[in-house]
A and B are shown apart, each in its own frame.
Chain A
Amino acid sequence: MTDTALSDSTHSTDSTDSTDSTDSTHGAHGPHGSRVTEGAPHPSYPFSRAAGCPFDPPPEFAGLREREPFSRVQVFDGTPAWLVTRYQDQRAILADDRFSADALRPGFPPQSPGLEARRKSGKPLSFIAMDDPDHNRVRRMFTAYFSVRRARALVPRLSEIIDGLLDGMEAAGPPADLVSSFALPLPSLVIAEILGVPRSDHHLFQSRTKVLVSRSASGEKSLAATNELTDYLGGLVDEKVKNPQDDLISNVAAAHLPTGETTRERLAQDAMLLLVAGHETTTNMIALGTLALMRNPDQLAAVRDAEGPAQIAGAVEELLRYLTIVHTGRRRVAIEDVEISGHTIRAGEGVILANDSANRDATLFDDPDDLDITRPNARRHLAFGQGTHQCLGQNLARQELQLAYPALLRRFPALRPAIEERDIPYKHDAVVYGVHELPVAW
């Protein structure tokens, strides 16, 4: 998301409104696919990772960055798009108003069948799929809750939640599933508290989110999960209007419903974006980041034994760069002809910005395939996206990760996977990469 951890959503951020994609259907003329070429189909995107390289992006990217930085691909429904693999080109496009994030525009390369189902439903998309100035107007209803100062003020509460979860793991004893016992409940509790979602309803959003971020869920299934979540959140908006609390939904409803700046339906939609993006992405960063550190014991030790916050902050940025869990590309469509690095993208053509490729671009990052928590320019990564859609929840995500990794590693200094590498269930089928579960021992 770009406005959130996905951009606009936590990294996940570009992905919540759309989600699943089925296996590609080569040559199919999709609803957006006015320019599918005759003859041989383009390669299907997303590509697969290489066997035995769970932390590395698909191997095709290195050659494309070198030889064909704008290449033709097509997505699951046959919609063609330019795949952009270099760092500087992605930065330029994501910061350029001539590219639209409106997923309903013709030519936009959809993430999943869910999007087409949404289009037919006529329901509004959240601000992640809007363009400025409308996008920024809506985004600013929520930005106060995700500032650097707000994230820092949450430290005591975050530490309390983290300690409680680690106490639970320790009391139950090894082995434990790191995802269900730590990586998922931490961000879920936090975003639910910020929004004002009662704890008794957490199971509802966790189960529906799982469907939303699956690329293999059908359009109908994805739409049903979306509708269940937005119906629930619409009811919650009504409840907060009647009995306001000090939480995001209550405050935004009080400030912006009476003025007509938002509606019950739109607020429910935006709240869903925050809810989904706010926990799915951070969950995966905690679990996959811990696994990456366990595979690099010297760096695990450096994070565990770090004396100052700067070292931890640097490690978090490097893990964000190295893992780039929003791994199916941020997407845009050109609204006029645009020339980028000498390459012309025509009005109506879709572009896919593979941020996982940009974050391994050696023109910016030395030895880009190495995890190096002391990397001086790790913060230049595009894991949160770029442009005005850049992840809304990034400071909350950073704060959660900066506390979670060292607390976990200090509580369990000998933390290790409790299963063989070949048995680890990676989320190859999800818009946001990670592990479905990760049994650990200590």
Chain B
Amino acid sequence: MHIEIDQDRCCASGQCVLTADDIFDQRDEDGVVTLLDDAPGDADAQARAEEAAALCPAGAITVRA
């Protein structure tokens, strides 16, 4: 799995951090998404990354198999 984020599109809702705070974080200065892990290995983390992508209101997270 490979995760990509679009920081221009991000609206800092925090949905990704609520879902997977081991994979996503928010910048202190403006809450915009940052990636802690762009290729999570275990199945549980991968499922949460997919959930975060589905919940992201801005469509700023792309998950590729």
**Known interface pairs A143-B30, A146-B31, A148-B18. Does A394 touch B11 (Cβ–Cβ under 8 Å)?**
no
User: In the complex, A391 Cα to B13 Cα: how many Å?
Assistant: 7
> Is A50's CB within 8 Å of the partner chain B?
no
The answer, among A139, A143, A390, A398, for a CB contact under 8 Å with B57, is A390
Interface membership of chain A positions 120-137, coded 1 if the CB is closer than 8 angstroms to chain B and 0 otherwise = 000000000000000010
Chain B residues with CB below 8 A from A149, complex form: 17, 26, 28
Chain B residues with CB below 8 A from A42, complex form: none
Interface membership of chain B positions 25-62, coded 1 if the CB is closer than 8 angstroms to chain A and 0 otherwise = 01011111000000000000000000000010111000
A140:B30 contact, CB within 8 angstroms: yes
Task: Return the chain B residue nearest A91 by Cβ.
Answer: B57
User: In the complex, A3 Cα to B57 Cα: how many Å?
Assistant: 11
> Is A380's CB within 8 Å of the partner chain B?
yes
**Known interface pairs A136-B11, A390-B11, A395-B14. Does A144 touch B57 (Cβ–Cβ under 8 Å)?**
no
User: In the complex, A398 Cα to B13 Cα: how many Å?
Assistant: 12
Chain A residues with CB below 8 A from B31, complex form: 140, 143-144, 146-147
> Is B21's CB within 8 Å of the partner chain A?
yes
Interface membership of chain A positions 389-401, coded 1 if the CB is closer than 8 angstroms to chain B and 0 otherwise = 1111011001000
Task: Return the chain B residue nearest A391 by Cβ.
Answer: B13
Chain A residues with CB below 8 A from B18, complex form: 148, 395, 398
Interface of chain B: mostly helix, strand, loop or mixed? loop
User: In the complex, A386 Cα to B17 Cα: how many Å?
Assistant: 17
Chain A residues with CB below 8 A from B57, complex form: 94-95, 385-388, 390
**Known interface pairs A95-B59, A385-B57, A388-B58. Does A148 touch B32 (Cβ–Cβ under 8 Å)?**
no
Q: Which residues of chain B from 2 to 33 have a CB within 8 Å of any chain A CB?
A: 9, 11-15, 17-18, 21, 26, 28-32
B30:A144 contact, CB within 8 angstroms: yes
The answer, among A146, A379, A386, A387, for a CB contact under 8 Å with B12, is A146
B28:A144 contact, CB within 8 angstroms: yes
Chain A residues with CB below 8 A from B26, complex form: 147-149
A394:B55 contact, CB within 8 angstroms: no
Interface membership of chain A positions 171-210, coded 1 if the CB is closer than 8 angstroms to chain B and 0 otherwise = 0000000000000000000000000000000000000000
The answer, among B14, B21, B28, B58, for a CB contact under 8 Å with A394, is B14
Task: Return the chain A residue nearest B54 by Cβ.
Answer: A380
Chain A residues with CB below 8 A from B12, complex form: 139-140, 143, 146-147, 392
User: In the complex, A140 Cα to B15 Cα: how many Å?
Assistant: 16
Q: Most B CB atoms within 10 A — which of A140, A143, A146, A394?
A: A143
Chain A residues with CB below 8 A from B9, complex form: 388
User: In the complex, A146 Cα to B11 Cα: how many Å?
Assistant: 11
B17:A144 contact, CB within 8 angstroms: no
User: In the complex, A151 Cα to B18 Cα: how many Å?
Assistant: 11
Q: Most A CB atoms within 10 A — which of B31, B32, B55?
A: B31
Q: Which residues of chain A from 92 to 137 have a CB within 8 Å of any chain B CB?
A: 94-95, 136
B59:A143 contact, CB within 8 angstroms: no
Chain A residues with CB below 8 A from B17, complex form: 147-149
Interface membership of chain A positions 345-389, coded 1 if the CB is closer than 8 angstroms to chain B and 0 otherwise = 000000000000000000000000000000000011000111111
A-B contacts, 10 of them at CB < 8 A, read: A139-B12, A143-B31, A146-B14, A146-B31, A147-B26, A148-B26, A151-B14, A387-B57, A390-B11, A395-B14
Interface set of B (CB-CB < 8 Å, partner A): 9, 11-15, 17-18, 21, 26, 28-32, 55, 57-59
Interface set of A (CB-CB < 8 Å, partner B): 3, 94-95, 136, 139-140, 143-144, 146-149, 151, 379-380, 384-392, 394-395, 398
